[in-house]
Structure 1
Amino acid sequence: MAISWAAWRFVPMGTGQFAMHLHNGCMLLIDLHHAHASLQDKGVATLTFRNAGSLNILSSPVLEDLAQALDTLAQDSRIRVLVMRGTGDKAFVAGADIKEMRALTPDNAAAFISRLRRVCEGARQFPTPVIARLPGWTLGGGLELACACDIRIASNRVQCGMPEVQVGIPSVIHAALLPRLIGAARTQWLMLTGDNIDAAQALQWGLLDQVVPPQRLDGEVEHLANKLASYGPQALRQQKRMLRAWETQSIDQAIDDSVQEFAHAFKTGEPQAYMARFGQH
Structure 2
Amino acid sequence: METIGRVRRLTLNRPEKLNAWNTPMRDQLIAELKAAESDADVGAIVLTGAGDRAFGAGQDLSESKSFDADRAESWMAEWKTLYNLFRKGSKPIVAALNGIAAGSAFQVSLLCDLRIAHAGVKMGQPEINSGIATVTGSWIMREILGLARTIDLTLTGRMLEAKEAFEFGLISRIVDADKVQSEALELAEFLAGKPPVAMRLNRQRFSELTEAGFENAMTAGVRIQREAYASGEPQAMMEKFLATRAARKA
Pairwise TM-score range, normalised by the shorter structure:
0.7 to 0.9
Equivalent position of 2:68 in the other structure: 105
| Residues in 2 aligned to 1:144 and 1:248: alpha-carbon distance in whole angstroms | 16
Residue aligning to 2:108: 145
Listed as ranges, the gaps of 5+ residues in structure 2 are 213-250
- CA offsets 1:141-200 (integer angstroms, 9 cap, x no match): 100111111111111111111111111121122541111111111111000000111000
C-alpha displacement of 1:51: 3.8
Q: 1:156 aligns with which of 119, 144, 154?
A: 119
1:210 aligns with 2:173: yes
8 Å Cα contact 1:165-1:191 kept in structure 2 = yes
Question: Offset at 1:217?
Answer: 1.0
Q: 2:153 aligns with which of 166, 181, 190?
A: 190
Q: 1:248 deviation in Å? A: 4.9
Q: Deviations over 1:33-65 (max 9, x none)?
A: xxxx22233x21111122453510101111111
Structure 1 position 125, deviation (Å): 1.8
Which residue of structure 1 aligns with residue 30 of structure 2? 67
TM-score, normalising length: structure 2: 0.79
Unaligned runs of 5+ in 1: 1-36, 250-281
Percent of pairs with identical residues = 28
Question: Per the alignment, in what secondary structure is the counterpart of residue 153 of structure 1?
Answer: strand
Paired letter, 1:130: I
Q: Is the 8 A contact 1:143 1:161 kept in 2?
A: yes
Question: Partners in 1 of 2:186 and 2:41 — Cα distance?
Answer: 19
- The total of aligned residue pairs comes to 212
More displaced stretch, 205-214 vs 195-204: 205-214
Cα distance in 2 between the residues matched to 1:114 and 1:173: 12
Alpha-carbon separation, structure 1, partners of 2:43 and 2:67: 39
Q: Is the 8 A contact 1:156 1:213 kept in 2?
A: yes
Residue 232 of structure 1 and its aligned partner are, at CA, apart by 1.9
User: In structure 1, what is the Cα distance between the partners aligned to 2:138 and 2:33?
Assistant: 20
Q: Indicate how the Cα distance of structure 1 residues 219 and 92 shifts in structure 2: closer, same or farther if over 3 A, else same.
A: same
**Aligned partner letter, 2:3:** L
CA contact under 8 A between 1:121 and 1:148: conserved in structure 2?
no
Structure 1 position 48 matched with structure 2 position 3: no
Q: Which amino acid aligns with 1:110?
A: E
Q: In structure 2, give the amino acid aligned to 1:61.
A: P
Q: Deviations over 1:207-251 (max 9, x none)?
A: 1111112022122112211211222222222222222223359xx
Match of 2:57 among 94, 119, 126: 94
1:58 to 21, 31, 34: 21
Report if the CA contact (8 A) 1:52-1:58 is conserved.
no
Larger relative helix fraction = 2
Q: Secondary structure at the match of 2:151?
A: helix
Q: Is the 8 A contact 1:52 1:62 kept in 2?
A: no
Partners of 1:91 and 1:138 within 8 A in 2:
yes
Which residue identity does 1:78 align to in structure 2? D
C-alpha separation between the residues in 1 aligned to 2:81 and 2:119? 29
Measure how far apart 1:82 and its partner are.
Answer: 0.7
Say which of 194, 199, 215 aligns to 1:236: 199
Q: Distance in 2 between matches of 1:207 and 1:238?
A: 23
Change (3 A) 1:203 1:238: same
State how far apart, in whole Å, the 2-side matches of 1:67 and 1:219 are.
24
Which of the pair has more CA radius of gyration?
Answer: 1
Higher RCO, 1 or 2 (CA under 8 Å, sep at least 6)?
A: 2
1:273 corresponding residue in structure 2: none
CA–CA separation in structure 2 for the residues paired with 1:208 and 1:218? 15
